Structure 1
Amino acid sequence: MLKSFIGGTLLIAAGLVYAQTTAPPSAVPPRLAPEQQESIRKAVGSPVRSISNVMRDAGRNPEQTLAFFAVEPQHTVIEIWPGAGWYTEILAPLLREEGRYIAAHFDPNSPVEFFRTSLAQYQEKLADDPEVYDRVELQVLNYDPDTPIAPPGSADRVLTFRNVHNWLSQGREETAVVFAKMYAALKPGGLLGLVEHRARIGTDLETMIRSGYVTEELVIELAQEAGFELLSRSPVNQNPQDTTQHPEGVWTLPPTLRLGDGNRAQYLAIGESDRMTLLFSKPE
């Protein structure tokens, strides 16, 4: 059964109170049929997944997350900035036979070396296993408003995992461009599924960019400015052990563990970050 909650919620963690932004639902969130949920379960259990990625399921909850986003095998799904392909290992098999999977990755002409290197590694991953990834469609997500990620109104779902802080580091206008592109790509009635590290309410923008944690209030504001309506929230990726107050921001925690051996056991015990899991709709 899908878990979701609408409206205000208090999450008490390590003596801190996290107050979620209250927003009424725009409609009843979709629920998957048992056979569709089983398709997601099989994709999560796919043997093509690397052991290192499977070991992170406890922190990322892919089966519950994709079910909450109501991803169906016949959908056209765009994943924004898939990175090394953690979700690609699940989405490509899930969508391969009946659906369409578009990976809107980094710009190959980006001045950021990390982006170019990550894209090249992702392309190698796809090439190394054509029986699984030969139907993955690679597109570009950059901040040029004239470069779409897909034909307008073509996608059933757009998904993005832990990327909003990266866009904000480039500027509010650049972030707005990304949300506008996601909105444009979706069909009327299509859904945007978004996961992001969650900052405490009242956190300022500079701290968000520095720490990697973003407030739900800002994410919802950005989505609504693009035309989206908030449909639902899920607690599936929340982590009450995460205070969000770390020397190197979210990168202090696993999997990055930027402090190395410094307090390593403490940060491993906390686990991956506390995250919002939001579902938005494009009005019909």
Structure 2
Amino acid sequence: MKLPALLITSLLAGSAFASDFEATEAKIKAAMKSDIRVEADTKRDRNRMPVQTLKFLGLRDDMKVIELLPGGGWYTKILAPVLKENGELHLAYGTSRAAKLAEANDSMSEVKLAAKEANIYRKEGARFYSIENAEIDVKKADMVLTFRNYHNFAEDGRQAMNDAAWNSLKVGGIYGVVDHTRRHMEGENDENRRRFDPVKAIKEIQAAGFEFVDYSDLHYRADDELEYEVGRKSVTGNTDRFTLKFKKVKK
């Protein structure tokens, strides 16, 4: 029986896509075993699932990637060695701790800092952060990523971050956002300040011009009742998180 040409093409394309990730996956797994990662990092691998998460978002080792708000560098320690040879990794906003790591470790030696003039601050009386000079001095990036940071910002800060991501990406570039889940339309309280409504995130990022591509249930946790602060002992390390993928489809 002959297979239709279109089906054959589709199968071959799917096979090529899968094999295309194999080299990147091998580099991710090697980075996960690096001495730069301390026990506190490796303990979170099972929960954060970096291989599966980065595969879903479409990472390849030859991409130009911007990581927003790298914090202590949990993902930076993985992304930097993966992209070191064939790609680029740029860090933007709140980069001081990750920058020190990069200076001290050869596997992160090619990491570049962007948006050095950006200022993250809280307006008087505000609970969440804003960003001044948010524009990122990197253009035609393949991917912008941010992990568990979206919830930290006020509406103007989120808008500035989304606009900066849009301006830095090439057409077809991917914007990946992961954060702790808040109940839809729930008002702010002392327990949910480090959570965010995924529906609201999707609407805001679409408003910045992005096309919503897909979501992943990799970090769905049925036993997180979405009721308690993410740092509580009953929740920490097991929070329900949304994993969203967007694309810049036009200039």
Please report the TM-score for the alignment, with normalisation by the length of structure 2.
0.80
Question: Structure 1, residues 61-95: CA drift from partner, whole Å, max 9, x if none?
Answer: 11110111111110000000000000011000000
| Whole-Å separation in 2 of the counterparts to 1:54 and 1:46 | 10
Offset at residue 46 of structure 1 (A) = 3.1
Quote the residue 2:38 is aligned against.
Answer: 50
The structure 1 residue matched to 2:230, chosen from 240, 250, 274, is 250
| Whole-Å separation in 1 of the counterparts to 2:100 and 2:24 | 30
| Whole-Å separation in 2 of the counterparts to 1:127 and 1:39 | 21
What percentage of residue pairs aligned between the two structures are identical? Answer: 31
Question: Structure 1, residues 244-279: CA drift from partner, whole Å, max 9, x if none?
Answer: 212xx2222xxxxxxxxxxx4x446xx331000010
Q: Number of aligned pairs? A: 221
| Whole-Å separation in 2 of the counterparts to 1:126 and 1:239 | 33
In the alignment, does 2:70 pair up with 1:82?
yes
In the alignment, does 2:206 pair up with 1:219?
no
Give the 3 Å change call, closer, same or farther, for CA 267–163 of structure 1 in structure 2: closer
| Whole-Å separation in 1 of the counterparts to 2:31 and 2:209 | 32
Q: Which amino acid aligns with 2:144?
A: V
Quote the residue 1:166 is aligned against.
Answer: 152
The structure 2 residue matched to 1:148, chosen from 135, 142, 145, is 135
The structure 2 residue matched to 1:233, chosen from 215, 229, 251, is 215
Q: Secondary structure at the match of 2:231?
A: helix
| Whole-Å separation in 2 of the counterparts to 1:31 and 1:196 | 27
Quote the residue 1:112 is aligned against.
Answer: none
Quote the residue 1:109 is aligned against.
Answer: none
Q: Secondary structure at the match of 2:230?
A: helix
| Whole-Å separation in 1 of the counterparts to 2:182 and 2:206 | 19
The structure 2 residue matched to 1:99, chosen from 69, 77, 87, is 87
Quote the residue 2:158 is aligned against.
Answer: 175
Q: Which amino acid aligns with 2:215?
A: R
Quote the residue 2:114 is aligned against.
Answer: 139
Question: Structure 1, residues 161-192: CA drift from partner, whole Å, max 9, x if none?
Answer: 0111111xxx2122111100011110000001
Offset at residue 237 of structure 1 (A) = 1.3
| Whole-Å separation in 2 of the counterparts to 1:209 and 1:137 | 36
Offset at residue 218 of structure 1 (A) = 0.5
In the alignment, does 2:51 pair up with 1:68?
no
Q: Secondary structure at the match of 1:192?
A: strand
Please report the TM-score for the alignment, with normalisation by the length of structure 1.
0.72
| Whole-Å separation in 2 of the counterparts to 1:199 and 1:251 | 14
Q: Say which structure, 1 or 2, has more relative contact order (CA 8 Å, 6+ apart).
A: 1
| Cα contact 1:40–1:67 (8 A) shared by 2 | no
Give the 3 Å change call, closer, same or farther, for CA 228–41 of structure 1 in structure 2: same
Give the 3 Å change call, closer, same or farther, for CA 250–232 of structure 1 in structure 2: same
In the alignment, does 2:241 pair up with 1:275?
yes
Quote the residue 1:201 is aligned against.
Answer: 184
Q: Which amino acid aligns with 1:123?
A: A
Quote the residue 1:121 is aligned against.
Answer: 97
| Whole-Å separation in 2 of the counterparts to 1:83 and 1:134 | 17
Q: Give unmatched runs, 5+ long, in structure 1.
A: 1-27, 107-118, 253-263
Q: Give unmatched runs, 5+ long, in structure 2.
A: 1-13, 120-130
